[in-house]
Chain A
Amino acid sequence: MAILLLMGKRFGMSSNLETMCTIGGAGKISDYFKTNVKSKSWSLLVVLGVVFGGYLGSNVLTNNKGVAISEMTISMLNDLGFSSAGKAYLPSELFSTSSLSDPFTVLLLLVAGFLVGFGARYAGGCTSGHAISGLSSLQLPSLIAVIGFFAGGLLMVHFFFPLLFGS
């Protein structure tokens, strides 16, 4: 809680109370369309910071890489063929280097990324932008978007996962 408060404060103090999403998205768009890259350069620095933070968090500060998800979740994932459930930070079935040799996995990752990138820009934000910043400032469009996020997520997990990963 204290950490999140600090995070909120930090975001609040940075003169742009912008969101991680606009940061990611806007930086990307400006890179491609060469519009005002300079005014967005700060957001790229935050991105670099996040990359560095990810490195620190997983290599320097970590003690146990397994994520303690519930037993029920583990057994459901095992049924879908994810044997690394509960033992790793990310499923090795999708995110190990060897999975890169499987064209189907690569395609899945590409499609997932495409949906996230396209959807985030279309909806005008993502988890941090709409769910955290948007809901915090009590905005209706953000609520609609967040409902959309969950509808999409539920659809994927409950309907598409059995089709994609089921044996």
Chain B
Amino acid sequence: MKNIAFFFVGTFFGIVLIKSEAASWFRIYEMFQFESFHMYGIIGSAVTLGILLMQIIQRGKVKSISGEEISVAPKKKTFKANAIGGLMFGLGWALAGACPGPMYALAGAGFIPILIVLFGALIGALSYGLTKSKLPH
């Protein structure tokens, strides 16, 4: 049952990504040209709602359906990793016009070349795993 729920959360997210055009290369380009409020609206409203939700969850000690306490694992404070990794991600994001979530959605939408990007992302994640100990963190 729970597994089906995860699947549908993903399905819903996939539809939202496609329909909101957050998965469109053009929208990402436009965002970086500051020509449209579109992407900022999507990200901004998601963050605003996220902050509200997080506050409600933290203040009210809201439990998940399975009864565990909800918490977001704190991100590690590693300035170099955040900054350098962020910069690399940004370069790839603008070129591919998609971050990992939309990539899956686009693959489902039938854009075959996105599979190459996904393959590249796999290699990238693998390379990071292999070189992790040698990189500045």
B119 / chain A contacts, CB cutoff of 8 Å: 110, 113
Contacts of A99 in B (CB 8 A): 113
What is the minimal beta-carbon distance from B77 to any residue of chain A, in angstroms? 5
Q: Flag whether B135 is at the interface (Cβ < 8 A).
A: yes
- A142 to B112: give the CA distance in the assembly, Å: 32
In the complex, chain B residues whose CB is within 8 Å of the CB of A104: none
Which secondary structure dominates where chain A touches chain B?
helix
A54-B105, A57-B18 in contact; A116/B100 too (CB < 8 A)? yes
Taking a contact as CB atoms closer than 8 A, the residue among A45, A113, A114, A135 that contacts B50 in the complex is A135
A77 (CB) vs chain B CBs: closest residue: B29
Could you count the A-B residue pairs with CB atoms below 8 Å apart for me: how many are there? Answer: 460
Partner of B18, one of A58, A146, A147: A58
* Contact A70–B99 (Cβ < 8 Å): no
In the complex, which residues of chain B have a beta carbon less than 8 angstroms from the beta carbon of A124? 75-76, 78, 81-82, 85
Question: With an 8 A cutoff between CB atoms, is A162 at the interface?
Answer: no
Shortest CB–CB separation between residue B94 and chain A, in angstroms?
A: 4
Q: Is the CB of A120 within 8 A of B125?
A: yes
Chain B residue numbers with a CB within 8 Å of A128 are 99, 101
When C-beta atoms are compared, the residue in chain B nearest to A106 turns out to be B116
Tell whether A33 pairs with B129 under 8 Å between CB atoms, given A20-B101, A124-B81, A150-B90: yes
User: Closest residue to B63 on the A side, CB-wise?
Assistant: A15
Residues of A close to B93: CB separation below 8 A: 115-116, 126-127, 149, 152-153, 156
Report A-chain residues with C-beta under 8 Å of the C-beta of B90.
Answer: 119, 148-156
Specify which chain B residues have a CB less than 8 angstroms from the CB of A123 in the assembled complex.
Answer: 81-86, 88-89
Once bound together, how far apart are the Cα atoms of A112 and B92, in whole Å? 4
- Chain B nearest CB, measured from A99 CB (Å): 6
Cross-chain pairs A/B with CB under 8 angstroms, 10 sampled? A3-B16, A21-B99, A45-B10, A50-B17, A54-B109, A69-B26, A106-B113, A132-B46, A153-B94, A157-B32
Nearest 10 A-B pairs (CB), nearest first?
A148-B86, A53-B14, A152-B90, A49-B10, A113-B120, A117-B124, A136-B50, A115-B92, A123-B85, A122-B85
Task: Taking A17-B72, A125-B75 as given, write out 20 further A-B residue pairs in contact, using a Cβ cutoff of 8 Å, ordered by the A residue number.
Answer: A4-B49, A5-B49, A6-B12, A12-B57, A17-B70, A45-B3, A46-B13, A49-B11, A55-B108, A57-B14, A70-B35, A91-B26, A115-B91, A116-B93, A126-B99, A136-B49, A137-B50, A138-B54, A142-B82, A144-B86
